[in-house]
């Protein structure tokens, strides 16, 4: 019975891979299917130094939001490199696009960067003991915009020689001064409703351009073929 289950699971997995690599089959029920998918990528700094090499173990995801608005996407690196998970609003189309705005105030927070701040050892990792305590930090890569980008059909070649879509994006990351304030956790959210519990919340964000940086990513769409894996 186990062998049969493994066999069926294998067939389903292979079907998904083949569909994912066939551009003639419209598998994305989305207004943004030209962008959507998993990409393997390298990261290069402005000075030309490589921050991260292309690897099949580190993928960047582009996918539509719940409202499926055209040119509005989530960009997510699964906490592997930047880390980055932000909503981006674009102009143009998949072959030539950029963010609608490069102004800090118009951009979405990088949720993975906020999580990193909460993990500060000896700081926000320790629960507060009262209401109104304030802690301030300066962080980098808090918001992100696409300066320019393009996804070109079959313009790249994978490690094994497979033709696939290329991706290029120049990303501007913005620094920020953050303020966290302690608050009383509502009873229904506490571990023990009868015992007072306190936590931190992000209460203030201000732009800090001293932490700005521009990173370029380049790579190709994930093929799913074993010969392209690391």
Q: How far apart are the C-alpha atoms of 124 and 184, rounded to whole Å? A: 15
Domains of the chain: 2-228 (2.40.128.220)
* Cα–Cα separations (whole angstroms), residue 160 to 54, 156, 211, 230: 14, 11, 39, 11
CB 224 within 8 A of CB 20: yes
Q: Kindly report whether the peptide bond that precedes residue 83 is cis, defined as omega within 30 degrees of 0.
A: yes
DSSP H or E stretch at residue 181? strand 163-184
User: Please, are residues 42 and 58 in contact by the beta-carbon 8 Å criterion?
Assistant: no
Q: Is residue 63 within 8 Å of 56, Cβ to Cβ?
A: no
Backbone angles phi, psi at 193, to 5 degrees: -55, -25
pTM of the model: 0.83
Of 208, 213, 215, residue with least CA distance to 138: 208
Contact 130, 198 (CB under 8 A): yes
Rounded-to-integer distance, Cα 109 and Cα 178, Å = 11
Per DSSP bridges, beta strands 163-184 and 213-221 are antiparallel
Which pLDDT tens digits describe the chain residue by residue (230 residues)? 433 433 333 433 444 344 344 333 334 478 999 999 999 999 999 999 999 999 999 999 999 999 999 999 999 999 889 999 999 999 999 999 999 999 999 999 999 999 888 887 778 988 999 999 999 999 999 999 999 999 999 999 999 999 999 999 999 999 999 999 999 999 999 999 999 999 999 999 999 999 999 999 999 999 999 999 99
């Amino acid at each position: 019975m186990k062998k049969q289950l493994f066999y069926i699971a294998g067939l389903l997995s292979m079907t998904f891979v083949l569909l994912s690599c066939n551009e003639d089959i419209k598998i994305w029920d989305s207004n943004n299917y030209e962008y959507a998918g998993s990409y393997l990528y390298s990261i290069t700094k402005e000075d030309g130094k490589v921050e991260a090499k292309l690897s099949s173990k580190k993928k960047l995801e582009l996918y539509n939001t719940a409202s499926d608005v055209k040119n509005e996407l989530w960009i997510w690196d699964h906490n592997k490199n930047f880390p980055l998970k932000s909503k981006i609003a674009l102009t143009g189309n998949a072959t030539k696009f950029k963010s609608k705005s490069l102004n800090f105030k118009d951009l979405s927070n990088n949720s993975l960067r906020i999580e990193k701040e909460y993990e500060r050892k000896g700081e926000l990792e320790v629960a507060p003991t009262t209401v109104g305590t304030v802690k301030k930090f300066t962080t980098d890569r808090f918001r992100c915009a696409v300066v320019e980008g393009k996804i070109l059909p079959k313009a790249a070649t994978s490690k094994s020689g497979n033709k696939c879509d290329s991706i290029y994006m120049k990303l501007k990351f913005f620094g920020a001064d953050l303020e966290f304030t302690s608050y009383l956790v509502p009873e229904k959210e506490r571990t023990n409703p009868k015992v007072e519990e306190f936590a931190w919340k992000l209460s203030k964000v201000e732009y800090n351009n001293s932490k700005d940086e521009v990173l370029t990513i380049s790579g190709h769409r994930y093929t799913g073929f074993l010969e392209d894996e690391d």
